[in-house]
Amino acid sequence: MGRDVIIACDFDSKEQTLAFLDKLGDHKPYVKIGMELYYAEGPSIVKALKERGYKIFLDLKLHDIPNTVKKAMKVLSNLDVDMCNLHAAGTCKMMEAALEGLTREDGSRPLLIAVTQLTSTTQERMEADMLIDEPMEKVVSHYASNAKNSGLDGVVCSPLESGKVHEVCGEGFLTVTPGVRFADDDKGDQARVTTPAKAKELGSDYIVVGRSITAAADPKAAYERCIAEFVD
């Protein structure tokens, strides 16, 4: 599976989303539908984008008791998305239940990945707010190992941790990495960030890019710049 750029479509309506995607011309990128858009439009936004030929990462970050997550994943499996996720902090039992719920009767399923630590989380906040005193890289690697042992396909992490995750879990274990900005862009609310070129160097399999593309004066050119720096 080769590298790819996933565009975070962090909009609050179908109209805004389609208007943005129209600016990309003939490109049919991998797109991320997050909480804002999904909660605004519901499953219909997934159907609308699939009908237009887009691959979809449904980024809802499930985190609940195992049985609830299992049942929710069973519903999501019927949406025909390409990738979905949950929080690794929900424990191995929850991840195993999620995988069971996501897998269809014929054995097929979307890719399932686990969020390790959000890219807005710093070492200081992890220690003060979560009482986790281990180094960030060790925590992310441990969560990634739990995800792999639970049968998942990969994790969400910062590009800064991609190399360590691959070292611990193998090259075939996917790293999907938000917190990616062009060098001349504002970091926003992200803490652990890199450029697309640096993410490639560090071994990310997918980068998730939002405002650097969606807020660009020329989104098509920004997307092509991402592809050139990360994929080509």
Choose the catalytic residue: 50, 55, 61, 220.
61
pLDDT of residue 187: 57
pLDDT of residue 188: 61
> Please, what is the angle between helix 136-149 and helix 92-102, to 10°?
40
Amino acid at 95: M
Spatial separation of the C-alpha atoms in residues 231 and 225, rounded to whole Å:
10
- How big is the chain by its Cα radius of gyration, in Å? 17
Domain that holds residue 147: 4-230
The domain spanning residue 199 has which CATH number? 3.20.20.70
Per-residue pLDDT of the chain (232 residues; tens, 9 = 90+): 689 999 999 999 999 999 999 999 999 999 999 999 999 999 999 999 999 999 999 999 999 999 999 999 999 999 999 999 999 999 999 999 999 999 999 999 999 999 999 988 999 999 999 999 999 999 999 999 999 999 999 999 999 999 999 999 999 999 999 989 898 766 565 566 799 999 999 999 999 999 999 999 999 999 999 999 999 8
Amino acid at 137: E
- The question of whether 61 is a catalytic residue gets the answer yes
What is the total count of domains within the chain? 1
Q: Look up residue 146 and give its two tokens.
A: 């739990």
pLDDT of residue 10: 95
Contact 86, 100 (CB under 8 A): no
What CA–CA distances, in Å, run from 1 to 35, 112, 158, 174? 27, 15, 19, 9
Q: Look up residue 113 and give its two tokens.
A: 């990945």
Contact 9, 46 (CB under 8 A): no
Contact 7, 207 (CB under 8 A): no
